[in-house]
Amino acid sequence: MRLIFLGPPGVGKGTQAQKLAETASIQKISTGDILRDAVSRKTDLGLKAKQFMDAGQLVPDEVVIGLIRERLSSPDCDGGFVLDGFPRTVPQAEALGRLLEERESPIQRVISLEVSEHELVRRITGRRSCPECKRVYHIDYQPPKQSGACDSCGAKLIQRDDDREETVRKRLGVYHKQTAPLVEYYSARSLLARVDGLGSVEEVFGRLKAAVS
Ligand code: ADP
Ligand code: AMP
C-alpha cells in the first residue's frame, strides 16, 4: 500500500496516518516530524528549516525532496507507506512521481481529508504533541489519560511553536496557495479520493479505509 494523505494543517492527517500505519503494518512518513526532529537536534538541516517553520512557511522543495528520497530508500518502506504532509507543492509531487517511477512502485491512492476552516483552527490550537513518539492529542477532543503526559510513552506533551493562532492563519494561507492545487493535480491522474474529516476519529477512519480499499 502506497498512499498520500493530503489536506490542510489540522485536518487529521497525522492522527489517521498513525492508525492506518499500525493497522496495516506500513510506515507513516511525516516530513513535519522529520524536520522537527532535526530542529530539536540542531543539525544543519534543522537550523536551516527552523526559520521557515517558525514563520509558517514551507521549507524549500529541494530540502524536503532530499529527505523523502532518503527516507523512501530505506528497506522498511518496501512493504508500503503513507505520506503525511508530503508532497505540498506541485514540484514536490512531480519529484515524487519521478522517484517512484524509477522504482516501478507508484502511488496507488491520494486521500484528500476535508473539514471546515473553523474546525481546523479549533483542532490545531488545541493540539498537543508527544515530542518522543509523535502521537497527537487534543485538549478537548482527545485528551490524554493523564493530563500533560503521553498515553503511549509517558513523555511530557508540548504545544508546537507553529500551532499558535497567528502562525496557524499563515499556514492555512500557504496551504490554499501552494498545496491545494495538488487536489486537482491528483484528481486529473485519477488517484484522488475525497474523505469527509468531520466526526470522531473512528468514524473518519472507517470512511478512510473504505476509500483506500
Ligand atoms: P494534521 O496532521 O492534519 O495536521 P492532526 O492529526 O495532528 O492533523 O490533528 C490535529 C488535531 O486535531 C489534533 O489535536 C488531533 O488530536 C485532533 N483531531 C484529529 N482528528 C480528529 C477528529 N476526527 N475529531 C476531533 N479532533 C481530531
Ligand atoms: P506539519 O507537521 O506537516 O504540519 O509541518 C510543519 C511544518 O514543517 C510546515 O509548516 C513546513 O514549514 C514544514 N514542512 C513539513 N512538510 C513540508 C513539505 N512537504 N514541504 C515544505 N515544508 C514542509
Please report which confidence band the pLDDT of residue 191 belongs to, taking 50, 70 and 90 as the band edges: very high
Tell me what the mean pLDDT of segment 84-103 comes to.
96
Beta bridge mates, 126: none
> Is any atom of ligand 2 closer than 6 Å to the C-beta of 85?
yes
Tell me what the mean pLDDT of segment 105-134 comes to.
95
**Active-site residue identified among 13, 50, 71, 134:** 13
Whether 13 has a pLDDT exceeding 90, the answer reads yes
Q: What is the pLDDT of residue 17?
A: 96
> Is any atom of ligand 1 closer than 6 Å to the C-beta of 144?
no
Provide the Cα torsion 47, 43, 73, 92; round to 10°.
0
Q: What is the pLDDT of residues 128-178, one digit of tens each?
A: 999 999 899 999 999 999 999 999 999 999 999 899 888 999 999 999 999
Nearest Cα to 128, choosing from 110, 113, 146?
Answer: 146
Query: Is the Cβ–Cβ distance between 65 and 31 less than 8 Å?
Result: no
Q: What is the pLDDT of residue 39?
A: 92
> Rounded CA gap, 87 and 5, in Å?
9
Beta bridge mates, 137: 128
Q: What is the pLDDT of residue 161?
A: 87
Q: What is the pLDDT of residues 61-76, one digit of tens each?
A: 999 999 999 999 999 9
Tell me what the mean pLDDT of segment 84-101 comes to.
97
Average pLDDT, the chain: 95
Tell me what the mean pLDDT of segment 78-87 comes to.
97
Please report which confidence band the pLDDT of residue 58 belongs to, taking 50, 70 and 90 as the band edges: very high
Cell 487534543 sits on residue: 138
> Is any atom of ligand 1 closer than 6 Å to the C-beta of 32?
no
Q: What is the pLDDT of residue 9?
A: 96
> Is any atom of ligand 1 closer than 6 Å to the C-beta of 204?
yes
Q: What is the pLDDT of residue 124?
A: 94
Q: Which of 35, 47, 127 to mutate to test the pocket of ligand 2 (most atoms within 8 A of CB)?
A: 35
Nearest-atom index, ligand 1, CA of 203: 23
- Roughly how many angstroms between the first and final C-alpha of the chain, as a whole number? 10
Please give the share of the chain, as a percent, with pLDDT higher than 70: 100
Tell me, yes or no, if 88 is annotated catalytic: yes
Q: Tell me the CA–centroid distance for residue 176 and ligand 2, in Å.
A: 14
